[in-house]
Chains A and B, each alone.
Chain A
Amino acid sequence: MVTEQYWFIFLNAALINNFVLSSFLGICPFLGVSGKVETATRMGAAVAFVMFIASLAAYGIHNLLILIDAQFLQLISYIVVIASTVQLVEMIIKKFSPALFKALGIFLPLITTNCAILGLALFQTNRSYDFFQSISFALGAGLGFTIALVIMAGIREELQLSQVPNVVKGAALTLMVAGILSMAFMGFAGLGGN
């Protein structure tokens, strides 16, 4: 019973209420770095990792803030933790894979201002998830973000080979594709059997 619940939270965050396509979190990198499948995969992995750490940290901070009765500091402390986590990830990637560091470019520090991560922290607090629920939520959200990003990158790679009228080129086309993808993801609504 309990494992089923964790599985459901995971599935819900990954597919049914996909972070990007149905909650509109993390649209900037979704439109920005979805040009190539390889970059998209790695970006997804980086975001998923930051999400995981941020979720753990947010859980701890939330309980601490309740303890000292200072919930109004919630937003500020979350964003500081996320910013430092991103800094950490940046240093790790720079050290182990300079090529990837270059490919991600400005979008790496911008993970800080990725609403998906702050959104995850806020959602898990709002829904008062316990420790393990938070973890499955974070893992699901990370997976969902990566899936959306990789699918989008795949479609955009194909689109480069097709002839598109000039007017539609660029962000307009990407948004239209995202709309269709979002409709497709609505098909997961029955999943989980609630």
Chain B
Amino acid sequence: MPETKNTTPENMEIFLKGVWKDNPVFVMLLGMCPVLAVTNSVINAIVMGVATTAVLILSNFLVSSLRNFIPKQVRIATYILIIATFVTVADYAIKAVSLEVHKSLGAFISLIVVNCIILGRAESFASKNSVGKSVLDALGMGAGFTIAVLALGIVREVLGNGTFLGYSLFGEHFQPLVIMILPGGAFFVLGAYLLFFNWLKERKEKQASIETSAI
């Protein structure tokens, strides 16, 4: 939508697009595996969000700066190699900072390689735009992804364990909804979020149609 809000600069729009309008998780349904798998606690969600954002920024930066040198036929393979390199870096970095978190995330850090968001952004944005814009796009998409995993992580940890970042919230009489921590809970919470966004969208459309019919 180019005509929305002429006052916001173009760059801001690129950033906000990733956060809200084209949110990679809630709107485009990309990168589902980590979203569902590591959101059983808030700390896991934060680490996952930050690691993915970092890889996204670095790979978008490199892909964008090399975009005129990469031959078209081998571009996907090249992108995957670039991404795999940065993911390996992130993997070792997390291991160095906190062995505990690394253990609880397990193979899912390495699996950032196959997160469709990163390859998707490299292919559809970074390969066609300038370095600055690509980094902004990566920041926006990364923020959108982090918000989404946090949104799931908070609901699942608070309801499923009665804690927030490990601190007890409700006292001892709270009966945790164990299902929220279990795999099934991940599907339910994400489903509920999607329901909410569908409802918002439908309401907005209804209002728009009422407005146009009034005119």
Interface flags, B177-198, vs A, CB<8A=1, else 0:
0010011111110111011001
**Shortest Cβ gap from A19 to chain B (Å):** 10
- A167 vs B194: C-alpha distance when bound (angstroms): 9
**Shortest Cβ gap from A84 to chain B (Å):** 9
Complex contact A170–B113 (CB within 8 A): no
- A122 vs B33: C-alpha distance when bound (angstroms): 15
Q: A178 to chain B: which residues have CB within 8 Å?
A: 187, 191
Given A72-B92, A118-B113, CB of A168 within 8 Å of CB of B195: yes
Complex contact B88–A72 (CB within 8 A): yes
- A166 vs B195: C-alpha distance when bound (angstroms): 10
Q: A175 to chain B: which residues have CB within 8 Å?
A: 187-188, 190-191, 194
Complex contact B33–A115 (CB within 8 A): yes
- A178 vs B111: C-alpha distance when bound (angstroms): 21
Q: Is B199's CB within 8 Å of the partner chain A?
A: yes
Smallest CB-CB separation from B31: which chain A residue? A28
Q: B187 to chain A: which residues have CB within 8 Å?
A: 175-176, 178-179, 182
- A122 vs B80: C-alpha distance when bound (angstroms): 17
- A169 vs B115: C-alpha distance when bound (angstroms): 25
- Sort A-B residue pairs by CB-CB distance and give the 6 closest, nearest first: A179-B187, A175-B191, A172-B194, A24-B37, A27-B32, A182-B184
- A28 vs B182: C-alpha distance when bound (angstroms): 20
**Shortest Cβ gap from B122 to chain A (Å):** 12
Smallest CB-CB separation from A184: which chain B residue? B184
Pull 20 A–B residue pairs with CB atoms less than 8 Å apart, ordered by A: A23-B183, A24-B37, A24-B186, A25-B111, A27-B32, A28-B32, A28-B33, A76-B85, A79-B114, A113-B119, A115-B33, A118-B111, A123-B107, A167-B199, A168-B195, A175-B194, A178-B191, A180-B184, A182-B187, A183-B182
Q: Is B54's CB within 8 Å of the partner chain A?
A: no
Complex contact B198–A170 (CB within 8 A): yes
Q: Is A9's CB within 8 Å of the partner chain B?
A: no
Q: A126 to chain B: which residues have CB within 8 Å?
A: 106-107
Q: Chain B interface (Cβ within 8 Å of chain A)? A: 29-30, 32-33, 36-37, 77, 80-81, 84-85, 87-88, 91-92, 106-107, 110-111, 113-116, 119, 179, 182-188, 190-192, 194-195, 198-199, 202
- A178 vs B32: C-alpha distance when bound (angstroms): 13
Given A22-B183, A24-B183, A172-B191, CB of A83 within 8 Å of CB of B77: yes
**Shortest Cβ gap from A96 to chain B (Å):** 24
Complex contact B188–A79 (CB within 8 A): no
Given A25-B37, A75-B87, A122-B110, 13 more A-B residue pairs with CB atoms under 8 Å apart are A23-B183, A28-B32, A75-B110, A76-B85, A79-B113, A80-B77, A123-B107, A167-B202, A172-B198, A175-B194, A176-B188, A176-B191, A186-B184
- A75 vs B88: C-alpha distance when bound (angstroms): 7
